[in-house]
Structure 1
Amino acid sequence: MRKKVSLLFVGVLLFSMLLSSLGVQNYKTTAATSKTALLDKVLENVLQAVNGPVEVIITFDHDGGVEEAEVNLLKAIGINKAITFQSLPIVGALATKQQVEQLLEMESVVSVYYNQKLQYENEGSTSITGVDRVRTDENLRSKNGGFPISGKGIGVVINDSGVDGTHNDIKLGRNLIQNVFASSNLNALTGILPITYLENVPNTDSDSGHGTHVAGTVGGTGAMSGGKYEGVAPGANLIGYGSGAVVAMLDTIGGFDYALTHQQEYNIRIITNSWGATSDAGTDFDPNDPINIATKKLYDRGIITVFSAGNSGSAEATISGNYKKAPWVVTVAAGSKEGDLADFSSRGVKGKGGSVEVDGATFTWQDSPTITAPGVDIISTRVFSPLSALSTQKDLEFISPAHLPYYTTFSGTSMAAPHVAGIIALLLEVNPQLDSMEVKEILQNTATEMKGYEDWEVGAGYVNAYEAVKLAYSY
């Protein structure tokens, strides 16, 4: 009997060595995974450097929101400051090193991660992407009942700093159908409480203007410019989820949770995210990361996640987050209006990737963007207060004096991602049955080749909305 067991062990070991030599990586998002693998390396380092409690993100092994039994588990080990989510099995908490060690021994816990600080990814048009052709093509208009394709009725969550819904291009109560302010300050809590947020807030972007600019690119109506600075999908239903100018992982997870909880109410099909962590650049895809767990659940529910690639180029291995390599998300590099790749746009790594088993299915991930879209000197909606001098010179160069109070110029992959989110809204208007993988295929199969660049830099190439919409009809 011992001889059989030994032979079996040797066989498994040789098979594992073969997979390793082929560059194949296998991960599982189940509690059966090694407990040490479930502790975030960043959190492990933080716990060695501090004595008191730190902000952690705890993920439990089931679908749906956090259950009462799990809240009781946290209370039993002395955790008394935490936020629970409604549709995701995730908790943000203040925990000590000893409490983290206790969490890792619980069968119901998938992972414990540090609540890392993130950064919005702005670096300092619709004609190049083919969106203008979509609007004016008579054949496409005829297929759409005589109306221009505008992303009509498709819900898009702007998971960002906030949205100024007092701007007529993105007016609360019109195309901005909901505007939410939420901030997860664990230190201000007393007890383990459900996440709270304020809805129907006229302006949630009083600190940076980042999310307002993003929202205008996705679906601004161009009301203050006679349509000149109209967004990609002016018929879309925008939902702002604002966390303020300072953002951490737990804040962004709140946006994913809101999208799941309110999906049916607002027909949410897309969530766009222009933030990341340079500290997570060059890392392998990690299915136990709470952001990956969240976006997988969105994928299962038919919500497409769009990410900016990051602004740490032009070196390789600079995509700002392992979650941007998830097989089910769309990650966007930034290009110029001339069709080149922006120097600042983050790159992946040539030939790097692997296979991953998640929820019983095998996926393939690659260390590269999915697609490239305009991200240099992008004109979009300006937040009214506070007025920023950051883009003053560019604004004077590109925007007429009459429009300066309403629009501003930003560059970054933050500006590229909402272009693609808007284009996806156009695809879903003409074919609402498309899922994330089909949308990725359409974007990639219709992209314009970017000569002189490889896929680990630009993905499939420059996004082509016109060809993508035409192909979406036949899927």
Structure 2
Amino acid sequence: MILQRAARRLHRVGWLLAAALLTACVTGPDFPALTTGSATGEERRLLVTFGDRSIGRDLPANPLDLYRPRGGYANSSWSLQKSQDLAARHGLRLVTAWPVTVLGVTCVVYEVPPGRALEAAVRSLETDSEVETVQPMHRFRSLGEVSANPYNDPYFPLQRALKAMRIAAAHRLATGRGVRIGVIDSGVDADHPDLAGQVAVAENLAKGAGGDTAEVHGTAVAGVIAARSQNHQGIVGVAPGAELYALRACWSLRPGTSEAACNSFTLALAVNEAIRLGVRIINLSLAGPDDPLVARLLRAALDRGIFIVAADLGPGDPANPFPADLPGVIAVHPEGTAAGPHSGTADRISAPGHNILTTLPHATYDFMSGSSVAAPHVAGLLALMLEVKPELDLGEALRSLKSRALAAADAPGEVDACLLLVRLGGTPGCAETVAHP
């Protein structure tokens, strides 16, 4: 209110004059103090002008030397003395002064000392007959996009799906902090710079399949879910605050490729271990024939309130619909593609699955497509949802993920993650400020 009243008084000299004064004051050389405000963030500086009869005058020698020029951008001795007198008279600190040659005035920046009200300083200056105008120090901003990358992770601009889903805004509300996600897959490279510290547990339950356990498929899935944010590395995961439980139940068929295989025994071991370790979400980016033992274990997980996310192969391979066809499992197919033939139930949803940039073993990255990278997007979203609402159940989760009212504006087939969290948790709104996990 104080500054608004002061600003309204400027109408007496016109907005053009105010703009010119501000430009003049902050454009001259050697004014580093003008680029920042006070330590508290409160702007306590005022701009004051007074008529300067020394500007533009070619004066003869003066015995008192009152009008001696002091340099191309400096004030005369007279105007500098006048600036100092005003500071002493009104209890202000002189920051800097500069002749605005176009307007024939001197512009002075004063700082109001702590403990004194800004309004009182403005009123005092306005009653001074030698003062022409008084105004607060305004701040202006550019009108371009503030930042193309709200993270310091350099590859985030290439993660178009996350941008469309407004993940940066969602991370202000939740990052999946503390939510345990079981990644039952091939081996995860826990030493990858974007996964270092993200893997709480790593177990090899397929020990008979030797070789390098830092494998392509598992590492890619892990990166989509929980690649670290704000670490000056690579990409950002959907839930960078989540805890990954990397349970190796599959092994690479060909080194250096995403082709991997599992069997009933290793999958059963991994699901049992995930339940024992208390995960809240299990991601299964794999498919095969109906398996009675694995199905029993997955139903046991569902009975315990564990969310199970599985890759939906779509209509191309109806012989291998499991575990996506198991009631209660959230089956995920890439957006823009058809769901599988078993998609009559309400548990089928779409997620980003085309040209997804993610982590690969040995500190590398690449683009991948398919249901295998669509499913972990949903696993990550569930982690964000569980942080906001730990008592979330399957029915509410599915309603939220499938709601057309939550569709992303830039990609209608994808969910607006920020709006989803706002609706789920009753939070006040979204912003692009990014929180650390």
CA distance in 1, matches of 2:423, 2:331: 20
CA distance in 1, matches of 2:236, 2:405: 23
1:215 aligns with 2:222: yes
Measure how far apart 1:377 and its partner are: 0.9
Match of 1:376 in 2: 354
**Pairs within 5 Å for 1:78-93:** none
Give CA deviations for 1:140-188 in whole Å, capped at 9, x if unaligned.
x4xxxxxx410000001110001001112111xx221111111176xx9
Match of 1:347 in 2: 340
CA distance in 2, matches of 1:179, 1:447: 38
Measure how far apart 1:130 and its partner are: 3.0
Match of 1:276 in 2: 287
Q: 1:328 to 1:205 in 2, by over 3 A?
A: same
1:179 aligns with 2:179: no
CA distance in 2, matches of 1:209, 1:237: 20
CA distance in 2, matches of 1:416, 1:426: 16
Question: Residue 254 of structure 1: SS of its match in structure 2?
Answer: helix
Q: Give the letter aligned to residue 396 of structure 2.
A: E
Match of 2:418 in 1: 466
CA distance in 1, matches of 2:286, 2:280: 19
Q: 1:182 to 1:240 in 2, by over 3 A?
A: same
CA distance in 2, matches of 1:430, 1:327: 26
1:324 aligns with 2:282: no
Q: 1:253 to 1:130 in 2, by over 3 A?
A: farther
CA distance in 1, matches of 2:266, 2:206: 6
Question: Residue 169 of structure 1: SS of its match in structure 2?
Answer: coil
Match of 2:390 in 1: 432
Measure how far apart 1:328 and its partner are: 1.4
Q: In structure 1, which of residues 154, 178, 184 is the aligned counterpart of residue 179 of structure 2?
A: 154
Q: Give the letter aligned to residue 308 of structure 1.
A: A
8 Å contact from structure 2 (residues 204, 247) kept in 1 = yes
Which runs of no fewer than 5 residues in structure 1 stay unpaired? 1-124, 136-140, 142-147, 189-197, 281-285, 336-340, 353-365, 385-404, 451-459
Give CA deviations for 1:375-423 in whole Å, capped at 9, x if unaligned.
1111111101xxxxxxxxxxxxxxxxxxxx5211111110000011000
1:131 aligns with 2:139: no
Measure how far apart 1:463 and its partner are: 3.2
- Provide TM-score, normalisation by structure 2: 0.53
CA distance in 1, matches of 2:370, 2:271: 23
Match of 1:421 in 2: 379
CA distance in 1, matches of 2:182, 2:425: 24
Match of 1:237 in 2: 243
Higher RCO, Cα 8 Å, sep 6+: 1
8 Å contact from structure 2 (residues 310, 332) kept in 1 = yes
For the pair shown, the structure with the greater C-alpha radius of gyration is: 2
CA distance in 2, matches of 1:301, 1:183: 25
CA distance in 1, matches of 2:272, 2:212: 18
1:300 aligns with 2:303: yes
What's the RMSD between the two structures over aligned residues? 3.2
8 Å contact from structure 2 (residues 406, 419) kept in 1 = no
Q: Give the letter aligned to residue 270 of structure 1.
A: I
Which runs of no fewer than 5 residues in structure 2 stay unpaired? 1-160, 253-260, 428-437
**Identity percentage over the alignment?**
27
Measure how far apart 1:462 and its partner are: 3.1
CA distance in 2, matches of 1:463, 1:289: 34
CA distance in 1, matches of 2:304, 2:267: 18
1:412 aligns with 2:370: yes
- Provide TM-score, normalisation by structure 1: 0.49
CA distance in 2, matches of 1:349, 1:217: 26
CA distance in 1, matches of 2:300, 2:277: 14
